[in-house]
Amino acid sequence: MQNSTESPTASPTRTFAVTRKLREGFFTNLALILITLVALLPIATTVLISFKREEDVTRKPPIIFPCDTPTSRFDLLACRWSIEGYERVALPMPEVGALLGFALKGRMLNTYLPNTVLYAVSTALIVMVLASMSGYAFSRYRFRGHDALMIAIIAITGVPLLTNLLALYQMGASIRHMAEGIYNDRVFIIFVYCGFYLPMSVWIAKGFFDAIPRELEEAALIDGCSPLQGLGRIIMPLAAPGLTAIFLLAFVGVWNEFIAGYLLITKNELKPAMFGMYDFLGQNIINAQVVAAACIIIALPMIVVFLVARNSFFRAMVEGAIKG
Amino acid sequence: MVQTKKARSRRRFDWLPFLLILPTALVLLVVQVYPALYTAVLSVQERQRAGWEFVGLKNFDILLSSRALGESAGHTIIFLVGYASLTLTLAFIVALLLNRKSRLSGVYITALFIPWILADIIAGVVFRLLVLPDYGLFSGILQNPALFPPRGLSVLTADAARPWFGDFPFPPSPAMIYLILAASWRALPFITLLLLAALQTVSNEVIESSRIDGASAWQTIRHITVPLILPTMVVALFNLTLGGINGVGMVFSLTGGGPGTSTTVLSYLLYSIGWGSLDFGRAAALALMLLVINLTLIAGTLRITRVQQRSG
């Protein structure tokens, strides 16, 4: 009797709860889709602009799609897509003996981007090695000054690159003056970048090492490994995801850095892609399609890296932000 | 086993950790600590023909009595308040939505994160292209006199209104408002991720029991969720403030400090004193003030995270 009275009342509430949940889920998804679209709108428009022709970029009033004809506002068959912007960034010139018969003469592709790749890869490698060494030391050893050093390293994360630029600029100038033959813009800027990304990376590395149980190492030591062998054979493979994250954060950071590369490197041919971008902006006030194409060329590698390795990024960012 | 280990460590000083830390320490001393101290030295000097000359606090004096500093400080305050409050509010809303664990959450987070991976200078260019005078995609709407009387709004060239309170640059120029929007757009993903990580530590039972007790969704958020993730919100706020004070790339590519000086924030002023007027002494004085603000903020963040770790 009890059962029969309860079940009819219970099932409508349950279906009500289910439909409420479904409806909530629908609205949550709708809101998130809208937010995502708005967030990606500026990027989408940049992609659009980069494939337009000059005469479509300089239309008054502006048009979104270059697809209008004298008779209709939008005609898919009449779209005038073009890669003119990309061509003007890359400047392909016919050249005998070059691959595909032409060479890319644009400074962005043959000078600035290779510089950026060099700075980003070297900085990320050095930061990864040094941060894992000190992160390991901080995680595994208790020594005198342990906490003080850790706090000093966090305090250094509070020294922004911006305020150090004046002094670094002066340092660069005097080293150049004193040791003219030895001084090298590239070495100097990589060194500066390393110093800038190390503090945060040490913290992240320590966090990742803390998560690896000590017992594994102790077992290796008992089995006759030296501490360094234990580090190389047991700990490093386990810490690999963390080290990858450190590498990626430094890599993206240097790739995207502008002001230090702009001010601390004296020779234009050694400057990175972000300087190239800034330079482009000054030269192409009207030619938005060229500027947009340059943006896409520089940003696309980072977007790809991010999409491939997004979980590494997320873990390292939360780790670094909450502890550091 | 434990005793022998202890005895051994007492006998022999272990150099290994120090050797492991040494390279990091050296790099940090040369690239971070020394320049920070050197900035302090530069700030009390002036460049003369013959070389640097000690001038005491003259640089600070000139700087503090200059109109440019007060004005840029005002711009920075307006920027920070707008940027931090807008980003934090939006990030909280997005994080609450993402925390509902939709099946597509991963897709949304990935897509929403793409603005974060763009360089600030690229983000500035992207936003600049949207409002280029006459040709930008939004300029068609914004420059329509019917919508923005009397002459339509050209974001990058419109002057700021006459200040309401003395010299304080409020209301901000359209370019400043646009700069705030662009900067928030880029910072939003990271702050959302921080808040989402905090929201995920709030147990469902707490939320559900408050619902059962008859609290509305708003009351639950206001009295349960916000207090529980407050420490993370404060960390996010510090993070935004630090990024906002030091970030300069977007000002470079979006507005160039203008129109006039209406988006010249302190970080851009530092650049224009140092490399525009080549007055390194005065720029160093400004850099030193910014450095002190930065270190204070970091100390604040540390205190909060420490308290959080101890209680959590």
**pLDDT score for A324:** 41
- Does B289 lie in the same domain as B189? yes
- Does B300 lie in the same domain as B153? yes
Among A25, A58, A166, select the one facing B42 at the smallest CB separation. Answer: A166
Give yes or no for a contact between B79 and B91, defined as CB atoms under 8 angstroms apart.
no
- Does B203 lie in the same domain as B72? yes
Q: Reply yes or no on whether the pLDDT at A1 is more than 50.
A: no
Among A149, A158, A227, select the one facing B294 at the smallest CB separation. Answer: A158
Q: Reply yes or no on whether the pLDDT at A177 is more than 50.
A: yes
- Does B116 lie in the same domain as B50? no
How do residues A197-239 score in pLDDT, each as one tens digit?
999 999 889 988 888 888 887 888 888 888 777 777 888 888 8
* B303 occurs within a structural domain: yes
A317–B283 CB contact, under 8 Å: no
Chain B residues in contact with A307 by the CB 8 A cut-off are 110
- Does B263 lie in the same domain as B187? yes
**pLDDT score for A14:** 61
What is the widest separation between alpha-carbon atoms in chain A?
99
Among A36, A161, A194, select the one facing B112 at the smallest CB separation. Answer: A36
Give yes or no for a contact between B164 and B102, defined as CB atoms under 8 angstroms apart.
no
Q: Reply yes or no on whether the pLDDT at A6 is more than 50.
A: no
Give yes or no for a contact between B166 and B233, defined as CB atoms under 8 angstroms apart.
no
Q: Reply yes or no on whether the pLDDT at A113 is more than 90.
A: yes
- Does B85 lie in the same domain as B47? no
A321–B125 CB contact, under 8 Å: no
How do residues A123-172 score in pLDDT, each as one tens digit?
999 999 999 999 999 998 888 889 999 989 988 988 899 999 999 999 99
- Does B267 lie in the same domain as B201? yes
* Closest by Cα among A49, A40, A208, A223 to A134: A208
Chain B residues in contact with A30 by the CB 8 A cut-off are none
B24–A136 CB contact, under 8 Å: no
**pLDDT score for A213:** 87
How do residues A71-93 score in pLDDT, each as one tens digit?
777 777 778 888 888 988 888 87
Indicate which CATH number applies to the domain containing B258. Answer: 1.10.3720.10
A159–B294 CB contact, under 8 Å: yes
- Does B74 lie in the same domain as B36? no
**Which CATH number is A107-323 given?**
1.10.3720.10
- Does B21 lie in the same domain as B83? no
B27–A36 CB contact, under 8 Å: no
* B8 occurs within a structural domain: no
- Does B43 lie in the same domain as B160? no
Q: Reply yes or no on whether the pLDDT at A25 is more than 60.
A: yes
Is residue A223 within a helix (H) or strand (E), and if so which, with residue range? none
* B156 occurs within a structural domain: yes
Give yes or no for a contact between B156 and B139, defined as CB atoms under 8 angstroms apart.
no
Among A46, A133, A318, select the one facing B194 at the smallest CB separation. Answer: A318
Distance, CA of B103 to CA of A30 (rounded, Å): 13
Chain A residues in contact with B303 by the CB 8 A cut-off are none
Provide the pLDDT confidence category of residue A103 given band limits of 50, 70 and 90. confident
Q: Does A311 touch chain B (CB under 8 A)?
A: no
3-state secondary structure A229-295: HHHHHHHHHHHHHHHHHHHHHHHHHHHHCCHHHHHHCCCHHHCCHHHHHHHHHHHCCCCHHHHHHHH
DSSP state for residue A110 in the 8-state scheme: I
User: Considering only alpha carbons, which residue of chain A is nearest residue B274?
Assistant: A166
N-term to C-term CA, chain B: 33
* B62 occurs within a structural domain: no
Distance, CA of B189 to CA of B198 (rounded, Å): 14
Q: Does A14 touch chain B (CB under 8 A)?
A: no
* B61 occurs within a structural domain: no
Can you tell me the mean pLDDT for A243-260?
A: 94
A29–B20 CB contact, under 8 Å: no
Can you tell me the mean pLDDT for A276-293?
A: 87
Distance, CA of B175 to CA of B181 (rounded, Å): 10
Q: Does A43 touch chain B (CB under 8 A)?
A: yes
Cis peptide before B171 (omega within 30 of 0): yes
pTM equals: 0.89
Cis peptide before A227 (omega within 30 of 0): no
User: Considering only alpha carbons, which residue of chain A is nearest residue B298?
Assistant: A158
Tens place of pLDDT for every residue, chain B, 312 residues? Answer: 444 555 454 556 788 889 999 999 999 999 999 999 999 999 999 888 778 888 888 999 999 999 899 999 999 999 999 999 999 999 999 999 998 877 778 889 899 999 999 999 999 999 999 988 888 888 878 887 777 767 778 888 887 777 887 778 888 889 999 999 999 999 999 999 999 989 988 888 888 888 888 888 888 888 888 998 998 899 899 989 999 999 899 999 999 888 888 999 999 999 999 999 888 999 999 999 999 999 998 888 878 777 666 554
| Domain chopping of chain A, boundaries | 2-78, 107-323
B270–A274 CB contact, under 8 Å: no
User: Considering only alpha carbons, which residue of chain B is nearest residue A133?
Assistant: B20
Distance, CA of A54 to CA of B135 (rounded, Å): 11
User: Considering only alpha carbons, which residue of chain B is nearest residue A25?
Assistant: B102
DSSP state for residue A60 in the 8-state scheme: S
**pLDDT score for A9:** 47
**pLDDT score for B309:** 60
Q: Which residues pair with B168 in a beta bridge?
A: B165
DSSP state for residue A76 in the 8-state scheme: G
Q: Name every residue whose Cβ is closer than 8 Å to that of residue B216 and which is 6 or more positions away in sequence.
A: none
3-state secondary structure chain B: CHHHHHHHHHHCCCCHHHHHHHHHHHHHHHHHHHHHHHHHHHHCEEECCCCEEECCCHHHHHHHHCHHHHHHHHHHHHHHHHHHHHHHHHHHHHHHHHCCCCCCHHHHHHHHHHHHHCCHHHHHHHHHHHCCCCCCCCHHHHCCCCCCCCCCCCCCCCCCCCCCECCECCCCCHHHHHHHHHHHHHHHHHHHHHHHHHHCCCCHHHHHHHHHCCCCHHHHHHHHHHHHHHHHHHHHHHHHHHHHHHCCHHHHHHHCCCCCCCCCCHHHHHHHHHHHCCCHHHHHHHHHHHHHHHHHHHHHHHHHHHHHHHHC
- Does B46 lie in the same domain as B142? no
Report how many domains make up chain B: 2
DSSP state for residue A100 in the 8-state scheme: G
Paired tokens of B66: 């200059």
Can you tell me the mean pLDDT for A8-35?
A: 74
Among A35, A258, A313, select the one facing B252 at the smallest CB separation. Answer: A258
Considering just the CA atoms, what is the radius of gyration of chain B in Å? 25
* B106 occurs within a structural domain: yes
Distance, CA of A75 to CA of B106 (rounded, Å): 36
Distance, CA of B1 to CA of B177 (rounded, Å): 66
Which of A166, A169, A193, A312 best probes binding to B when mutated, by most B CB atoms within 10 angstroms? A166
Chain B residues in contact with A45 by the CB 8 A cut-off are 126, 129-130, 137
Distance, CA of B227 to CA of B237 (rounded, Å): 15
Q: What is the three-class DSSP state of A296?
A: helix
Place of tokens 């305050």: B77
Which of B30, B117, B239 best probes binding to A when mutated, by most A CB atoms within 10 angstroms? B117
* B231 occurs within a structural domain: yes
Calculate the average pLDDT of chain A.
85
Among A60, A157, A323, select the one facing B298 at the smallest CB separation. Answer: A157
Q: Does A65 touch chain B (CB under 8 A)?
A: no
Range of the domain at B40: 16-56
